[in-house]
Structure 1
């Protein structure tokens, strides 16, 4: 049941991150086309604040992809000695890696939360579009919290694997 919940949270955020990226691409194309049409004087121009929107959208998308990456064990890693280590050692190293990623997720999300509170208290806005900066932090924080939850699940999954259970819950 936890596996299904983690999978759904990670998949939903990854899809949401993909939609945000597609939105950024569309807005960027519209802005570039508008900029190219300025000499024709037909009333179109670049989108005001496209850089601000791109910056916020990219940050939110990156954080939205982290839970999926963690769940699928797709973070960069060096498997140089994996073939020579016994299975139990590899499972222990996976547990160690997942615990380290949980700490990274927890610290990163906590710092993101503190940054959001700081930006909110000072009322900081982006330079061009005047978008409140805390909103970008809040959008990223959604992915950060999911990253923490999925990383915690991955520790449990690694413990189960180390105890000899498959991902489906049956004894391996």
Structure 2
């Protein structure tokens, strides 16, 4: 059997999925390019004039948490979640469907748990005033972003599973 063309692999984005994905792609791209620019500028300034960007690691730490938060829903939408289905093909069709549902429900449960934990970590970080070391940037927004990303991922995974 011939392998599918590259454009035929993965789920097609239609309707709500396309409108949901676009802002995450743009935000993710801007954040990654910002992080890349910060890292390159910091390394360049450190090497050339021996004057690195003050607090570059603090900025990178915060930006990276937002990149992770944006990445979760995009992974779910693109079907890039980790699932090992090598042996699944050898099982009967009914068992395959059951195991597919079970893995989706397990993924939804794990993402929901991560969202819940990140949200409460954000509350604790805000109440304790937890900040980065050098610039004293608060950690709470990073935790809130991760909580939102995981929560949206769980909802999208549920909608994806339900639509099949």
Q: Under TM normalisation by the shorter chain, which class is it?
A: 0.7 to 0.9
Shift of 1:79: 1.7
Q: By how many angstroms is 1:11 displaced?
A: 4.2
Task: Give the match for residue 37 of structure 1.
Answer: 48
Tell me the residue number matched to 2:8.
Answer: none
Whether 1:16 aligns to 2:22 is no
SS, match of residue 87 in structure 2: coil
Any idea what the Cα deviations from partners look like across 1:97-147, whole Å, max 9, x if unmatched? 111111011110010000000011111210012111112212323312311
Unaligned runs of 5+ in 1: 40-44, 162-172
| Runs of 4+ displaced beyond 3 Å | none
1:47-126, aligned counterparts within 5 Å? 47-126=53-132
- Calculate the aligned-residue CA RMSD, in Å: 1.9
Normalised TM-score (structure 2): 0.81
- Which consecutive unaligned segments of at least 5 residues does structure 2 have? 1-13
Distance in 2 of aligned mates of 1:64 and 1:121: 25
Paired positions, count: 151
